Amino acid sequence: MCARSPLQCILPPGLLHKLARTGKGEVRASALATLELDHKFRLARAETAARRGGRIAQAVTFSRIGGQANRTIYEQQHSTVQTPGKVVRREGQRPVRDVAVNQAYDGLGATYNYYWATYQRDSIDGQGLPLLGLVHYGTDYDNAFWDNAGHMFFGDGDGKLLTETTAGIDVIGHELTHGVTQHEANLVYSGQSGALNESISDVFGIQVKQMALGQDVTKSDWLIGADIVGPELKSALRSMIKPGTANAQDDQPADMDGYVDGGDVHTNSGIPNRAFAETALTLGGNSWDAAGPIWYATVTDPQLISHATFADFARLTVVQAQRRYGTTSKEVDAVRGGWEAVKLRL
């Protein structure tokens, strides 16, 4: 995958390629169709993606106080045009008959609410960026993605790989968090920095779902995409606490012993995913009480370089825990324990 113009979608391209090679009948056809559409979209963005993102790229404005999302949902009518279609629901309007429209609206709101309530972050860019949801994108399109330009695209799925992607609150949180990472760390989308990019989206996506559902760390299933997978990918896309067990195709390693050199960023992201889950479970309570803020402070730390390795990121999480809670705190011990659980030595 090109690090300069990645399509940061919820269904990994590596999995789609595997299903295109080994799947049978309609499964193979669906994987090929999704790959073709993803490829066209990636090419269309290639010239502009390298100019987006990073702390320097952010404009400074003083026009908003914050605390209220600005959502607009568009009906794409199964078109693959990347511009918004017909407006079907705006901020503050009542629910409509289309379930996907309402799910997208609610999921965008849940993500905004998480970032505002926990970090006083006003939308994805921190300055009130409007959240634009484009539903019914493509025909039986097996993906959902954030385009780094303010749009969240939702496919309806083919019913075998994925179902309606608007149903996944964690999926929406995951995709919008790519925007947060873009505006903060702008991690290069390849190697360990790319796997960190994906892991950060899972880390905050799962917290969005936990907060929206009122789940503490013990009640959460720690599964990503459980509400959008079809029978071919049951029971989820990824497991944060038990990487490699989410579905029959899941190839995520659970620790550094299984790290895949040159592996897909979605594959190796299971390692830092588990480090976060272990940290949060050790601390107990809500994941956004301590573990989440430590990870957020790390993502927004100017010392986090765009080519960061797992070890770079891990060391910064320890530093942030020490700054917030003290060098001998239980939070520091929990963070160290999380990385030790995945056999990453600091």
Assign 196 to helix, strand or coil.
helix
Nearest to 136 by CA among 84, 189, 72: 84
Q: What is the pLDDT of residue 318?
A: 98
Q: Which residue segments constitute the domains of the chain, with CATH numbers given? A: 64-183 (3.10.170.10), 191-341 (1.10.390.10)
Q: Say if residue 235 is preceded by a cis peptide, omega within 30 of 0.
A: yes
Question: Does position 281 have pLDDT exceeding 80, yes or no?
Answer: yes
Q: For this structure, is 175 an active site residue?
A: yes
Q: Inter-axis angle of helices 270-283 and 330-341, to 10 degrees?
A: 150
Annotate 117-161 with DSSP letters as a single string: HHH---STTSS---EEEEES-SSS---EEE-SSSEEEE----SSS
- Name the percent of the chain lying above pLDDT 90: 76
- Mean pLDDT (the chain) is 90
Residue with tokens 């497991």: 239
Q: How far is CA 203 from CA 73, 77, 120, 170, in A?
A: 25, 32, 18, 9
Q: Which helix (H) or strand (E) covers residue 115, if one does?
A: helix 99-119
Q: What is the pLDDT of residues 78-105, one digit of tens each?
A: 999 889 999 999 999 999 999 999 999 9
pLDDT at 37: 73
Indicate the range of 2-16, 271-285, 288-302 predicted with least confidence: 2-16
Question: In the prediction, which pLDDT does 18 show?
Answer: 77
Q: Is the dihedral of CA 199, 204, 208, 214 positive or negative?
A: positive
Determine which one of 136, 174, 183, 266 is catalytic.
266
Using CB atoms within 10 Å of the CB of residue 199, give its burial: 0 to 12 exposed, 13 to 18 middle, 19+ buried.
buried
Candidates 164, 175, 184, 198; catalytic one: 175
To which H or E segment does residue 72 belong? strand 71-75
pLDDT band at 147 (very low <50, low <70, confident <90, very high): confident
Question: Which three-class secondary structure state does DSSP give residue 87?
Answer: strand
The tens digit of pLDDT for each residue in 10-54 reads: 777 778 777 778 777 787 877 777 766 765 555 444 334 434 445
pTM of the model: 0.90
Q: What is the pLDDT of residue 4?
A: 40
Q: What does each C-alpha distance from 18 to 13, 130, 201, 337 come to in angstroms?
A: 9, 36, 23, 34
Residue 266 appears among annotated catalytic residues: yes
pLDDT of residue 23: 74
- Can you read off the two tokens belonging to residue 102? 């309402």
Side chain identity, residue 325: Y
pLDDT at residue 325 is higher than 90: yes
Tokens 């409509």 correspond to: 96
Among the residue ranges 18-32, 111-125, 231-245, the one predicted with the least confidence is 18-32
Over range 109-131, report the average pLDDT: 96
Give yes or no for residue 234 having a pLDDT over 70: yes
The C-alpha atoms of residue 123 and residue 344 are separated, in whole angstroms, by 33
Nearest residue to 262 (alpha-carbon basis) of 58, 28, 14:
14
